[in-house]
Structure 1
Amino acid sequence: MKFASQLNKATLIKRYKRFLVDLHCQQHGEFTAHCANTGKMTGCADAGFGAFYSTSDNKKRKYPHSLELTQNTQGELICVNTNHANTVACEGIEQGIISQLSDYHHCQREVKYGEENSRVDILLEQNGLPPCYVEVKSVTLLSQNHGYFPDAQTLRGQKHLRELMSLKQQGARAVLLFIVMHEGINDVAPAKHIDEHYATLLKQAHEAGVEILAYKAKLCEHEITLSHQVPVKIS
């Protein structure tokens, strides 16, 4: 996935109101940018971190700049725009990088499904195969050299696990795909210390036959691409 516009570098001052961050750079001085991330962004948006932002040519936008990447004090890049995870996942499927999903040739995004009024991130179909429902989650929480999901209690994430289990029982293929968007993360585990119920549901989903996969993204200021599979530690 190539960024739609060239990213410029700034310094992060603070994040607030969930979707806003204040940045500083020589060109603009101090300014406010949009941040497409509903999570807590723990360890991803500290004051003084490097920040890479894009600029929209849409004159109707109140905040034309969008925060895309941050860079922590260890020099590790982090993609904080969670909207990109689905695009990166789709490209990884189409390019055959996610080998477990390479048999499907028809890909749809944001398809309504399930008993709890959900939208699946990716629906894969191929003649002769059961439909494959893929929920995508962006992983950026790093703690003690390990990656965790979620970074805050997620009722929506819990619902998705229930939906995937139900689909599996109905004969469909159900996949939870973690996309690691932090250069310092090399494995993924449920954040039981943050959302114990999610961790319990993830274990139940795994035991019910829902496939749990994690792939790491390669980040730079020009593009994001999938790199390789990393371990998921469920229990």
Structure 2
Amino acid sequence: MKIPGPVTEGRLIRRYKRFLADVILPDGSEVTAHCPNTGSMLGCQPDNARVVLSVSDNPKRKLKYTWELVETSAGVWACVNTARPNAQAREAIEQGVVTELSGYPVCRPEVKYGSEKSRIDLHLSGHESLPDAWVEVKNVTLCDDQGLGYFPDAVSTRGQKHLRELIAQVEAGDRAVLLFVVNHTGIELVKPADHIDPAYGKLLREAGAAGVEVLAYRSGLVNKGEPDGDLSLVGPVPVSLQA
């Protein structure tokens, strides 16, 4: 999948109020872009970073630009738009890229489930021999200088709730899957961020032991080192649940 609509590059001035970012465009003009990311974006907002913005022609929108990609200080690219991973995951599952989840003819988003009144990102059904699969999708962009990717990038009580719900689905006899969408070209291995949210890391290991399947797939993002707007998932990334 491609970033929808036209895109433009720019240079980041600053991110503020969580959802706003000031950017200098190639012509020297300064614009305010929507930042669709509720996390800390740790490592993904260096000063003067190259960024990619999508451009909307919808006159009803308050902000014309949306922040999509950033070049980190290590010179690699990340997708910071957390509205993209669910669509990335759904496309990859339906196209058979995520081999562990192939064979399901029905894929529905945002299905209500669980005792804690959650909505699962993707519900897969109709497989000839396997039970329904409940798939929670998470965006991974936090990377250290060794190529280790971490989730979450801030304490996530919501993420902890999702893990409890996934464990309950396994106990009910269905499949439960945590799918990390690795939207960072420098990440070679995904781990729980125990140094940021130890409760999440502990619960993730409990989920894995209970039978929740933990997968990670990376997006392409670049062509010959330059961003090309292609967010399609291209292959698996190993996951380690060790502390």
- TM-score of the superposed pair, with normalisation by structure 1: 0.97
Letter in 2 for 1:140: T
Aligned to 1:147: 149
C-alpha separation in 1, matches of 2:201 and 2:190: 12
5+ long unaligned stretches in structure 1: none
Provide the rounded CA distance (Å) in 1 between the counterparts of 2:20 and 2:103: 40
Find the counterpart in structure 2 of residue 221 from structure 1: 228
Aligned residue for 2:220, secondary structure, equals strand
The alignment-based identity, stated in percent, is: 49
4+ runs of 1 displaced by more than 6 Å?
none
Residue 231 (structure 1) aligns with: 238
> Any idea what the Cα deviations from partners look like across 1:165-223, whole Å, max 9, x if unmatched?
00100011100000100011111000000000000000000000000001111103332
Q: Does the 8 Å CA contact 1:161/1:205 hold for their aligned counterparts?
A: yes
Write the distance in 1 (CA, Å) between the matches of 2:84 and 2:136. 14
Stretch of structure 1 that moved more, 93-102 or 120-129:
120-129
Deviation at 1:103, TM superposition (A): 1.5
1:231 aligns to what SS in structure 2?
coil
Q: Tell me the amino acid that sits aligned with residue 18 of structure 1.
A: R
What is the alpha-carbon distance in structure 1 between the residues aligned to residue 28 and residue 83 of structure 2? 25
Structure 2 partner of 1:159: 161
Partner of 2:224: none
Aligned to 1:47: 47
Native 8 Å contact 1:52 1:221 kept in 2: no
Q: Is the 8 A contact 1:134 1:176 kept in 2?
A: yes
Could you tell me which amino acid in structure 1 is paired with residue 134 of structure 2? Y
Query: Residues of 2 paired with 1:66 and 1:144: CA distance?
Result: 28
SS for the counterpart of 1:161 is helix
Q: Give me the whole-angstrom Cα distance separating, in 2, the residues matched to 1:63 and 1:221.
A: 23
Instruction: Tell me how far apart the structure 2 counterparts of residues 55 and 6 of structure 1 sit (CA, whole Å).
Output: 6
Q: Secondary structure at the match of 1:133?
A: strand
Moved more, 5-14 or 67-76: 67-76
Q: 1:128-207, aligned counterparts within 5 Å? A: 128=128, 129-145=130-146, 146-207=148-209
Q: In angstroms, what is the RMSD of aligned CA positions?
A: 1.1
